[in-house]
Amino acid sequence: MTGFWAILLKEFSHIRRDRATVFFTFMVPVLQLIVFGFAIDVTIDNIPMTVLDLDGRQESRRFAEALVATRTFQVVERPTDAESFRRALTSGRAKVGVLIPADYSERLLRREEAQVQVLIDGSDSQVATTALNAVNLLTTQLAIGRARAVAESLQLAAARNMEGEAAVPIEARARLLYNPDLESSHFFVPGLIAIILHLVLLFLTNLSIVRERELGTLEQLFVTPVGRAALLFGKLTPYALMAFGELLIVLLAMSAIFGVPIHGDLGLLLALSWLFIVTVLGLGLFISTLARTQLEAIQFAFLVMLPSVFLSGFMFPRSEMPVIIRAISYVIPATYFVEILRGIILRGADFLDLFPNVAALAACCAVILYLSIARFHKQLD
């Protein structure tokens, strides 16, 4: 390990003089966390809705009010003619159009089947799905309510509850675990930590080596008796420590700003973070052996980052991915770390729960380290 301390101290001198790197490492991640954490809100509410109420009596108004009460919809227009109703949808001012026929209330009173036409703009599949589910759920509830009232009046019920009131024969008692308020930030932010750590670490380590290659200082170091291990550990250790500091800051920001509690063992979380940090250092080292210039290094790093962001399950659920894409996600280290973070932070998972992910991440780490160290020589060719 000749020269380890020399390289380590030198690297810290560089970092001390390089304000941009320090800012990039400690401030930018927090900003990213805030921006992305708030921006990427996947709960969809206040979908703009236009209501053409041809009936206009109490029952029909109650239907429209019930839709708004779900907070999923927001009435933006109440046109009186079919043409404006259609316009609202084609122009995109409204994503949902509700058309209540003139005989709606009458049919209900006569105990005939009443129909409401709901038009949904399907261009954004997520919005459309949410709207469809909300409308179906609401209509079913309203319908059951009416049916129950009728059943009560006839003293004839399909089933009765504990209080002896008429009830639906089967009721699912669903309970939301871990994130009862369905805050999307609670799900999203832990994954974001993995991505931020990945991004900063990959760029820092990779560039710190390629910069020396480009400047010719690496060649100068090769001519000294500094050991290969000393050179690598000396160069990478400072960035590993910085990344760890960054992790602590981001975790703090997560609980302070987004109020995401860590349900599991913080010690386990930090220990497994080191496994991920070492893996990404290895990736950075590997890229640095491929790139000759800093520009190339940045391009390679983006090449690694893109699948890590989009295929790791951080953005889109992996279960929804086509088989081939899903197969790729298995060789992305971030996939496992996103799982580990979500497991510990949200579900309070312990080592046993996480074992498959830990084992897979450790395997990624071993392969990447082996390849990158084998490729890094104290030689120019």
Partner 1 sequence: MNGDAVISTDRLTRRFGPVVALREVSLDVPPATIFGLLGPNGSGKSTLIRILCGVLRPTEGNARVLGLDIRTQAEEVKRRIGYMSQRFSLYGDLSVRENVRFYARVYGLSPAKQRQREEAVLALTGVGAYVDRLAATLSGGWKQRLALSCSLIHEPEVLFLDEPTAGIDPVARRDLWDLLFALTHQGVTMFVTTHYMDEAERCTKVGYIDKGRLIVLGTPDVLKASPEVTPRGTVRYEVTCVDPPAALAKARTVPAVRDATLFGSTLHLLVDEELEGSQLLALIAPGDSSASLRPIAPSLEDVFVTLSRAQSMEAA
Give the residues lining the site for partner 1 (CB under 8 A): 2-3, 5-7, 9-10, 13-14, 17-18, 215-217, 219-226, 378-381
Q: Of the two residues 4 and 85, which places its CB atom closer to partner 1 in the complex? A: 4
DSSP classification of residue 162:
T
Q: Of the two residues 43 and 224, which places its CB atom closer to partner 1 in the complex? A: 224
What is the nearest approach in angstroms of partner 1 to the Cβ of residue 15?
10
What is the nearest approach in angstroms of partner 1 to the Cβ of residue 217?
5
Q: Of the two residues 11 and 183, which places its CB atom closer to partner 1 in the complex? A: 11
Q: Of the two residues 13 and 161, which places its CB atom closer to partner 1 in the complex? A: 13
Q: Of the two residues 11 and 121, which places its CB atom closer to partner 1 in the complex? A: 11
Separation CA 287–CA 207 (nearest Å) = 9
Three-state secondary-structure class, residue 48: strand
Closest CA to 71 of 122, 128, 138, 146: 138
What is the nearest approach in angstroms of partner 1 to the Cβ of residue 263?
44
Three-state secondary-structure class, residue 121: coil
Kindly give the residue spans of alpha helices, DSSP state H, lying in the chain: 4-17, 19-39, 58-69, 82-90, 104-109, 125-153, 184-215, 217-222, 228-257, 266-290, 294-310, 323-329, 333-342, 351-375
What is the nearest approach in angstroms of partner 1 to the Cβ of residue 20?
12
What is the nearest approach in angstroms of partner 1 to the Cβ of residue 373?
17
**Burial label, 381 (beta-carbon count in 10 A; 0-12, 13-18, 19+):** exposed
Give the Å distances, CA to CA, from 192 to 39, 189, 197, 310.
Answer: 12, 5, 8, 12
Q: Of the two residues 36 and 222, which places its CB atom closer to partner 1 in the complex? A: 222
User: What's the one-letter identity of residue 277?
Assistant: I
Q: Of the two residues 140 and 224, which places its CB atom closer to partner 1 in the complex? A: 224
What is the nearest approach in angstroms of partner 1 to the Cβ of residue 369?
23
Q: Pairing between strand 47-53 and 96-100?
A: parallel
Separation CA 380–CA 227 (nearest Å) = 15
What is the nearest approach in angstroms of partner 1 to the Cβ of residue 253?
30
What is the nearest approach in angstroms of partner 1 to the Cβ of residue 286?
21
Q: Pairing between strand 73-77 and 166-167?
A: unpaired
99 strand-pairing partners:
52, 117
Three-state secondary-structure class, residue 158: coil
Q: Of the two residues 16 and 160, which places its CB atom closer to partner 1 in the complex? A: 16
